[in-house]
């Protein structure tokens, strides 16, 4: 029983991780609020981009896991 839970929730988490990374990358590429310029002209811009992506992945992942758990999705 315990091994079924990760198997059922991992696809939702993987999809949310891709979605979060795509959303954060899209904000940087589109240069929303001069975000790309801030990252490129910063001394540690890679760290800022990494933190932005991780924040989006965490948020999207939590939502996806909550939805998958409440809907009772299975990986069948």
pLDDT of residue 23: 96
Report whether 26 contacts 33 (CB < 8 A).
no
* Whole-angstrom distance, CA of residue 73 vs CA of residue 18: 19
Indicate the domain borders of the chain.
26-68
* pLDDT recorded at residue 26: 96
Whole-structure pTM value: 0.81
The mean pLDDT of the chain is 88
The tens digit of pLDDT for each residue in 20-56 reads: 999 999 999 999 999 999 999 999 999 999 999 999 9
Instruction: Give me the pLDDT at residue 74, please.
Output: 58
- CA–CA distance, 56 with 20 (Å, rounded to integer): 5
Q: Which residue has the tokens 């899209």?
A: 26
């Amino acid at each position: 029983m315990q091994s079924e839970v990760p198997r059922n929730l991992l696809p939702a988490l993987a999809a949310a991780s891709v979605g979060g990374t795509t959303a954060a990358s899209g904000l940087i590429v589109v240069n929303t609020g001069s975000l790309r310029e801030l990252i490129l002209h910063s001394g540690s811009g890679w760290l800022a981009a990494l933190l932005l992506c991780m924040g989006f992945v965490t948020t999207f992942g939590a939502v996806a896991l909550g939805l998958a758990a409440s809907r009772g999705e299975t990986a069948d």
